[in-house]
Amino acid sequence: MKQIKTFEDACKALGLAIPEGLPEMLKPQYEAIIPARYIAQMKLEIITAALNGGWEYRPEPDVWCYWPWFEFFTKNEMDDMGPEKEKERNVVPFLPGQANGFSGLAFSLSYYAWSNASSFYGARLAYKTAALAEHSGKQFAELWRDYLFG
């Protein structure tokens, strides 16, 4: 898990060669042709496969899987938070025009407070342990932002 900190690390872990020209194709100027959410999903599926080390979720009784859990912040909440707290919480701001204005996204944990979770994204992005989901949510927060809102 600690060795996979980039998309390229995930490709190497799976023995995938990054096709020549792919990094250029994935640059922002191509978003008109390929939306950011599709690029992010492709990358997250490869990252998830590498982090899970071959494990794939199959819906069976008593089989658990995990997804990153995110917390959303309004512009006012981010202004009140300040840069030090943003860095501590690993907040990834949205750019103007994304999700209708300024806001932020951060991986979040909820151990002692009431919370509700629903999963509407696929099993291809499910993790075999909570620790892997946490690592993905923190290490790849910008990709998750693009996947969820891109």
Q: Which two tokens stand for residue 30?
A: 């191509």
Distance between CA atoms of residues 136 and 51, nearest Å: 8
Count Cβ atoms below 10 Å from residue 134 Cβ, excluding itself. 18
pLDDT tens digits, 17-34: 876 666 666 666 666 777
Could you tell me the pLDDT band of residue 149, with boundaries at 50, 70 and 90?
Answer: confident
Residues with Cβ within 8 Å of 73's Cβ and at least 6 positions away in sequence, in order, are: 81, 91, 103, 104, 105, 106
- Residues 48-63 have a mean pLDDT of 88
pLDDT at 41 over 80: yes
pLDDT tens digits, 107-139: 454 444 444 444 444 678 899 999 999 999 989
Domain residue extents for the chain? 7-69+109-149
61: number of CA atoms within 13 Å, CB side?
Answer: 0
